[in-house]
């Protein structure tokens, strides 16, 4: 059997546009629900179902597992589900549509290769639809699938689908997506999820599942040729032939790491060479030596020199473009908190494996999510998307978010409440021309 790849995708859109129902029905039709889960779903439908009495299953309850979610019929937290077809494996993040839980949408979409934005065929576009699409674009998701849902409520009318498609195509086209697909569906009835059915013979394009199986979005991930290995932990132990060496542990986030590679350790900019790469072999449950590591692997790196290296330092490949080292950068910021931004406050900034103090020096503009205009503002409130300038108390090793998502992203934490108040994507160092 040939090896198949994995596509990570998320859902987005406004409240009640049918995101959870889409995921539940898709899993059901793709045989991604176990028998005991199905029995539990039928029982939950009896107690909490928000469907007609003729429907045995409320598919939204598969991902909406919290009591509050089932009582209110909304998604609050991110729910992850997994399934596979003969062509591909899938990891799904079902995210909430309510404005109050935009932070959860950002969390679920942050690692996605593709996002499905749902539109209600009767209600049309809302501000939250625009906001989610803009956030998906800022997060660097390459493929947007616009699923125009509830076609059963408009008698599967082609003109309705075409009109809604045309009304949003221009707006979505202005965003930073490499590919945009439009699919008419009925998540409740299953139309165009895994099979075409007979209700929309006028639509000859791919179904949702066919679109997911054929998408090449995962090929645009940020594992660039540049090597980035943020150090999470320094471990001193016996390696090799009983020699006292230090191992530097972490996850390789970009590039390929090989034994013998020459590295630059940042921010100190000292040089070293890789003498060993160690990892835990799951089958044998023991540490084994490997010749190379690829993005996503958790490994221990042994160097040929004893150096002062600590958590938050980054290994970069001397043969490729190095990341930036500095204390000031501009960033796109999505503000999550109910409190407004405080320019006098020192927030905690969590960047990969390093946490430092940071100050938001100024706001360059606020992005209007409906017109995409850059607006002047002196305050930043909940769900605002802004461009800001940030200064940190210690140097960070970072790259532009468009180059590498893992070391181009960060969060801001309020030191008083310990709440995550914002998520950010680095645009450029401030001293960069």
Domains 6-220 and 324-429 share a fold: no
The CATH number that domain 6-220 falls under is 3.40.50.300
Residue 59 backbone dihedrals phi, psi, to 5 degrees: -65, -20
Q: Taking the model in full, what pTM does it have?
A: 0.84
Beta bridge partners of residue 8, listed in sequence order: 91
Rounded distance between C-alpha atoms, residue 284 and residue 138, angstroms? 41
Does 47 or 274 have the greater pLDDT score? 274
Q: What is the pLDDT of residue 242?
A: 46
Cβ-proximal residues to 407 (8 Å cutoff; 6+ apart), any chain = 228, 230, 253, 254, 314, 323, 351, 352, 397, 398, 399
Confidence class for position 1, pLDDT limits 50, 70, 90: very low
- The CATH class of the 228-317 domain is mainly beta
Centre a 10 Å sphere on the Cβ of residue 69 and count the other Cβ atoms it contains: 20
Asked if the model's pLDDT at residue 328 lies above 70, the reply is yes
* 128's tokens: 């939250």
Bond into 267 cis (ω within 30): yes
Domain boundaries, the chain: 6-220, 228-317, 324-429
Rounded distance between C-alpha atoms, residue 63 and residue 21, angstroms? 9
Does 342 or 224 have the greater pLDDT score? 342
Centre a 10 Å sphere on the Cβ of residue 258 and count the other Cβ atoms it contains: 14
Q: What is the pLDDT of residue 94?
A: 79
- Each residue of 58-110: pLDDT tens digit? 666 665 443 444 344 444 456 788 888 999 999 988 777 567 667 778 888 88
Asked if the model's pLDDT at residue 383 lies above 80, the reply is yes
Q: Are 183 and 194 in contact (CB under 8 A)?
A: no
- Each residue of 3-54: pLDDT tens digit? 678 999 998 888 777 888 888 888 888 876 655 565 665 555 555 545 555 5
CA distance to 257, 293, 323, per residue, from 254 (Å): 9, 10, 12
Block residue for tokens 């809302």: 126
Asked if the model's pLDDT at residue 368 lies above 50, the reply is yes
Asked if the model's pLDDT at residue 413 lies above 90, the reply is yes
Instruction: Give the residue-averaged pLDDT of 280-306.
Output: 85
Looking at residue 186, what DSSP letter applies?
Answer: B
Q: Are 93 and 117 in contact (CB under 8 A)?
A: no
The CATH number that domain 324-429 falls under is 2.40.30.10
């Amino acid at each position: 059997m040939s090896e198949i790849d994995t596509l990570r995708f998320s859902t987005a859109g406004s409240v009640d546009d049918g995101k959870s129902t889409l995921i539940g029905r898709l899993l059901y039709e793709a045989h991604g629900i176990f028998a005991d889960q199905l029995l539990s779903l039928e029982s939950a439908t009896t107690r909490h179902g928000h469907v007609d009495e003729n429907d045995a299953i409320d598919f939204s309850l598969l991902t909406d597992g919290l009591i509050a979610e089932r009582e209110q019929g909304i998604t609050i937290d991110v729910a992850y589900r997994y399934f596979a077809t003969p062509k591909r494996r899938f990891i799904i993040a079902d995210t909430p549509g309510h404005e109050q839980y935009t932070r959860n949408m950002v969390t679920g979409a942050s690692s996605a290769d593709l996002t499905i934005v749902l539109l209600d065929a009767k209600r049309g576009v809302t501000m939250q639809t625009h906001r989610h699409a803009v956030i998906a674009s800022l997060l660097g998701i390459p493929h947007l699938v616009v699923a125009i849902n509830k076609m059963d409520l408009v008698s599967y009318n082609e003109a309705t689908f075409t009109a809604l498609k045309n009304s949003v195509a221009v707006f979505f086209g202005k965003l930073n997506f490499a590919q945009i697909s439009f699919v008419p569906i009925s998540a409740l009835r299953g139309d165009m999820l895994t099979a075409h059915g007979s209700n929309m013979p006028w639509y000859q394009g791919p179904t949702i599942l066919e679109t997911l199986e054929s998408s090449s979005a995962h090929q645009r991930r940020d594992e660039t040729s540049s090597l980035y290995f943020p150090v999470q932990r320094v471990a001193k132990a016996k390696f090799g032939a009983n020699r006292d060496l230090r191992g530097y542990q972490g996850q390789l986030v970009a590039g390929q790491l090989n034994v013998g590679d020459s590295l630059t350790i940042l921010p100190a900019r000292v040089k070293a060479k890789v003498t060993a790469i160690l990892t835990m072999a799951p089958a044998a449950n023991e540490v084994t030596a490997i010749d190379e590591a690829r993005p996503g692997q958790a490994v221990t790196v042994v160097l040929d020199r004893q150096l002062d290296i600590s958590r938050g330092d980054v290994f970069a490949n001397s043969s490729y473009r190095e990341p930036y080292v500095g204390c000031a950068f501009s960033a796109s910021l999505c503000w999550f908190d109910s409190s407004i931004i405080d320019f006098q406050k020192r927030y905690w900034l969590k960047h990969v494996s390093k946490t430092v103090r940071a100050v938001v020096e100024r706001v360059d503009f606020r992005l209007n999510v409906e017109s995409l205009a850059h607006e002047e503002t002196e305050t930043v409130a909940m769900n605002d998307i802004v461009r800001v300038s940030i200064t940190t108390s210690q140097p960070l090793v970072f790259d532009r978010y468009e180059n590498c998502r893992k070391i181009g992203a960060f969060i801001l934490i309020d030191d008083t409440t310990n709440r995550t108040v914002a998520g950010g994507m680095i645009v450029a160092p401030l001293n960069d021309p």
